[in-house]
Structure formats: structure tokens, C-alpha cells
Structure 1
Amino acid sequence: MHIDWAAFAEVFGVSLVVTVGLVGLFTLGIVGTSRKADAADAAGGTAAAGALARTGAYACFALCAAAVGYGISLIVA
């Protein structure tokens, strides 16, 4: 049996980078939803800062969902 170590290392590296990136995006989404009141207070009490934080958080969650959907489509295909 022959193991292609270069391909194994490539799969490991890509998996590691994608996992760290996905966890980072999800973390940004959680921080964005939990800090919306703090962002509004820091910006002088404007609701626009809170809405911007919430919109960014939803965008992070959407990117996470898209990445998971893409992974599932790769597995199924």
C-alpha cells in the first residue's frame, strides 16, 4: 500500500485553514449580535451603529451557512 503523503498534508492544511476560518466567522457573528448595545453606546447612542453590527453579524452567519452548504454539496455529489 502506498500513501501519498503530499496529498495527505494538503488535505490536512486546507481542512485546518477552513476550520479556523469558519470558527472565526461564527465567533465574529456571535460578538456582533452580543455587542450591538455596546456599539450603539460607543457611537453616541445612535441606533445605526447597532444596526451595522447586527448586519455584519448576520453576514457572518450567512457565510458560515454557505460554507456548510458547500461542504455538504461536495459530500453528496
Structure 2
Amino acid sequence: MSIDWAALGQVFGISLAVTVGMVGVFTLGIVGTSRSDQPQPHDGAVGTAVVAGGASAAARTAAYACFGLCAAVVAYGIYLIVA
């Protein structure tokens, strides 16, 4: 039995790069949905801290695009496994 180490190395390298990239894209999606341009006052007692509000429409749209890209990569991976 012979192992093609070059092909194994390529698979490992590409898998590592895609995994790190998708984690980064997913993280950008999470940050995009949680960021706020302007803080909003907290509904509570007088003197409470100001908390961050929701994300802007552009940030939310970019975050959803990141989540869509992640879903597309997962679907492509499942397609490669099944095919």
C-alpha cells in the first residue's frame, strides 16, 4: 500500500484554510448582528448603564450574507460527500 503524501498534504491544507476562513466569516456574521452604531438607554432604574442596541440595516444585511455563504459552503460539502 502506498500513500500519496503530496495529495494528503493538499487535502489537509485546503481543509484547514476553508475551516479557518468559514469560522472567520461566521464570526463576522455574529459581530454584524450584534454591533450598534449608537448606544440606546436601558429600560430600567435611573442611573443604569447604557447598553448597545441592535445592528444597523447595512451590518445586518452583511451579516446575513456571511451566514448565507456559510450555509452555501456546508451545502456544497454535503453535495461532495453524497455525490
Summarize deviations over 1:31-73 as a string: whole Å, max 9, x none: 00011xx22x18xxxxxx7000000000000000000000000
What is the CA–CA distance in structure 2 between the aligned matches of 1:31 and 1:19, rounded to whole Å?
18
Which residue type is aligned with residue 71 of structure 1? G
Of 50, 61, 64, the residue aligned with 1:55 is 61
Quick check: 1:66 aligned with 2:62? no
Q: Percent identity, aligned pairs only?
A: 72
Give the helix-richer structure, 1 or 2: 1
* 2:33 alignment partner in structure 1: 33
Gaps of 5+ in 2: 40-54
Give the strand-richer structure, 1 or 2: 2
Over 4 Å off, 4+ runs: none
What is the CA–CA distance in structure 1 between the aligned matches of 2:81 and 2:2, rounded to whole Å?
24
Q: Alignment length, in residue pairs?
A: 68
